[in-house]
Amino acid sequence: MEKLLQVAPHSVALVLSQLGGEDELDPPSSSSPPKLQQRVTGYEVFANFKAVNMQHFWNKALTLALTEIFFLGWIDEHVLLIQGQEVHLQVLRNGWTRRTLKAPQGYDIQFIGGFLIRLPDKTRDMDFFLIDIID
């Protein structure tokens, strides 16, 4: 039987999807050299997420929550892991439900939830773990 392990208490996962840029809409002409996509780190995405949402000056609970949350990790370039007190994480969840929480620049928020690691039983291959995003 598989066991589920909570990776970090008081944490949430923001599942993001990257938005298509202008470069993807217009094919590059033969005269211009192709542009290399610049990779961003998870912490840069987290910092942008906080900066974009700090503009909610009328929502004091969200502003406070954003000052109290911490960057926990960045998985597969589309899952942002955030840690903080449960009350602040609930403010983020409520903001997403009410569509007042904004995604980092260049991304869209697909889902917000907790995350667990599914530990394989002894008969399975131990080279990888599955991460479940839960409500």
Q: Are 54 and 95 in contact (CB under 8 A)?
A: no
User: Do the Cβ atoms of 93 and 12 come closer than 8 Å?
Assistant: yes
CB-CB contact of 86 with 22 (8 Å): no
Domain assignment present for 120: no
Least confident of 30-34, 50-54, 75-79: 30-34
- Domain ranges, residue 46: 14-20+39-114
Q: Is the pLDDT of residue 10 over 80?
A: yes
Q: How many domains does the chain have?
A: 1
Is 82 a domain residue?
yes
* Residues whose CB is less than 8 angstroms from the CB of residue 119 and which lie 6 or more positions away in sequence, other chains included: 2, 3, 4, 5, 129
d(CA 120, CA 113): 22
- The predicted structure's pLDDT at residue 114: 81
In a domain, 130, yes or no: no
Residue 103 lies in a domain: yes
pLDDT of residue 62: 94
Query: pLDDT category, 70, cuts 50, 70, 90?
Result: very high
The structure tokens listed for 66 are 């954003």
- Does residue 6 belong to any structural domain of this protein? no
Look up the pTM and report it: 0.73
Q: Is residue 108 part of a domain?
A: yes
